[in-house]
Amino acid sequence: QKEVEQNSGPLSVPEGAIASLNCTYSDRGSQSFFWYRQYSGKSPELIMFIYSNGDKEDGRFTAQLNKASQYVSLLIRDSQPSDSATYLCALRGITGFQKLVFGTGTRLLVSP
Amino acid sequence: GAVVSQHPSRVICKSGTSVKIECRSLDFQATTMFWYRQFPKQSLMLMATSNEGSKATYEQGVEKDKFLINHASLTLSTLTVTSAHPEDSSFYICSASPARYGYEQYFGPGTRLTVT
């Protein structure tokens, strides 16, 4: 089992809809969770991080963490075509604590 | 805040030559920097972790003698690809973290290396 699993997609949503991106992880000791956005040919950009169970909102983005079920999700409200990108879930594990472990990413396509 | 720069953004070199890539944290001190490689349509692959003033920690399978990393100051890390070969052609991305024990990482814009 991979440490961080994401559906590769593409996830297609119409403009204005809510996009829901999910990520599961295997290490129960994982402490910190991150969502990055990566446009094609560009480097990843940090969107949000979350450490505690529950929801964390920042503008149109909401990160949700459920440590008991070992999943973290990212909701994008009022999706825009400019949100079309690959979204990477990452976590800081307890071994090699400086490193982030990345999922392979979910490609999101927002159609006008 | 939390801006990381990389130079050069794109480089083409001949097989057998060496290439140096610089990574700078512009508005914070980076006690830890990371170097990644990404092939087309693949995910990020961590190559090494470097802490300022100490030797880099390389991931399994990454040749430390081929990919030389120096983190001489709190704002600068360099990656030198020695004796480059066409299979080293890739997108190299650095990231920097303001905290000693990781937490969030901020990525540079990347360097696209093509070895001919």
Give the pLDDT confidence of B36-50 residue by residue, as tens digits.
Answer: 999 988 889 999 998
Which tokens is A64 given?
């949700």
| Helix/strand/coil for B84 | coil
Residue A27's pLDDT is what? 85
At residue A35 the predicted structure's pLDDT band, cuts being 50, 70 and 90, is very high
For testing the chain A interface, which of B41, B104, B112 should be mutated: the one with the most A CBs within 10 Å? B104
Give the model confidence (pLDDT) of B3-60 as tens digits.
Answer: 999 999 999 999 999 999 999 999 988 888 999 999 988 889 999 998 887 889 999 9
Closest alpha carbon to B34 in B81, B90, B112, B92? B92
For residues A1 and A21, the model is more confident at A21
Residues of B with CB under 8 A from a CB of A: 2, 32, 34, 42-44, 46, 49, 51, 91, 93, 97, 101-110
Which tokens is A85 given?
């990108």
CA B59 vs. chain centroid, Å, equals 13
Residues from chain A that touch B105, judged by Cβ atoms under 8 A, are 34, 46, 100
Provide, rounded to the nearest whole percent, the portion of chain A with pLDDT above 90.
81
| Helix/strand/coil for A81 | helix
CA distance readout (Å), B27 to B7, B74, B81 = 16, 11, 27
Whether pLDDT at B102 is above 50: no
Whether pLDDT at A83 is above 80: yes
- How close B18 comes to chain A (CA, Å)? 23
Residue A95's pLDDT is what? 60
Asked if A112 and A45 count as a contact pair (C-beta separation under 8 A), the reply is: no
The answer to whether the CB atoms of B107 and A32 lie below 8 A apart is no
